[in-house]
């Protein structure tokens, strides 16, 4: 069984999940350390995979919507949700966001890089709502021989929030043997 942390990023996620691939069950750093600062309200997990972060947030009783392109991952997230308030929906974010999404207390983009979505965060969030972002950085791309890949955050990139958001916290560094970046942005009230 493949494990995400031991692999370079799989290109065919459906095949990865369908053959028992896993990216683990523990929520990521930015969720573990900052989800408790979310104001009341629902949470949106973009490209949420099998739900390691969404499940953690839903365990506090918060409504969570997980959008994810892989049907196998969505099926796994639904199966794991049990009675938790987690809705997992198959959705290709390269088409953009589903219409009418708004009013979220938080939005998460974890180990998925789609820069075109960042400018939509203020419209998704309530005033004071948080965007949590974490992923691999350019140094990790170089280490993997993918120096030119756009699927990695540039050095310092997450310290510059999109218009309408302000930086609450952020950083970068190596843990788990990988170079990572993370940030917490807040929709300015
Ligand atoms: C590295 S995994 C991260 C999953 C999850 N965010 C986490 O941290 O556990 C990247 C995820 O992005 C999903 N993904 C890739 N392209 C996508 C797209 N266009 N729309 C929605 N999800 C996508 C993959 O299926 C995969 O589950």
Q: Is the distance from the beta carbon of residue 48 to the nearest atom of ligand 1 less than 6 Å? A: yes
Q: Which of 114, 54, 41 is nearest to 84 (CA)?
A: 54
Residue nearest to atom 10 of ligand 1 (CA): 112
pLDDT in tens, the chain (189 residues): 344 543 445 679 999 999 988 888 999 999 999 999 999 999 999 999 999 999 999 999 999 999 999 999 999 999 999 999 999 999 999 999 999 999 999 999 999 999 999 999 999 999 999 999 999 999 999 999 999 999 999 999 999 999 999 999 999 999 999 999 999 999 987
* Sheet strands (E) in the chain: 43-46, 64-68, 86-90, 104-110, 125-136, 165-175, 178-187
What tokens does 64 get?
């969570």
- Asked if CATH classification 3.40.50.150 holds for the domain at 25-187, the reply, yes or no, is yes
Interval between CA 116 and ligand 1 midpoint (Å): 15
Distance 46 CA to ligand 1 centre (A): 8
């Amino acid at each position: 069984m493949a494990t995400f942390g031991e692999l370079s990023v799989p290109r065919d996620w459906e095949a990865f999940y369908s053959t028992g691939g896993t990216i683990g069950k523990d929520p990521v750093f930015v969720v573990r350390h900052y989800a408790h600062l979310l104001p009341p309200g629902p949470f949106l997990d973009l490209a949420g995979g099998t739900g390691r972060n969404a499940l953690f947030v839903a365990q506090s009783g918060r409504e969570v919507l997980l959008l994810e392109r892989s049907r196998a991952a969505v099926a796994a997230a639904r199966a794991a949700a049990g009675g938790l308030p987690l809705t997992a929906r198959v959705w290709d974010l390269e088409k953009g966001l589903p219409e009418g999404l708004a009013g979220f207390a938080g939005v998460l983009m974890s180990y998925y890089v789609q820069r075109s979505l960042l400018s939509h965060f203020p419209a998704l969030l309530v005033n004071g709502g948080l965007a949590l972002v974490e992923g691999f950085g350019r140094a990790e791309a170089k280490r993997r021989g993918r120096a030119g890949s756009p699927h990695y955050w540039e050095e310092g990139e997450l310290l510059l929030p999109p218009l309408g958001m302000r930086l609450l916290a952020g950083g970068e560094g190596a843990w788990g043997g990988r170079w990572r970046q993370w940030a917490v942005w807040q929709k300015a009230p």
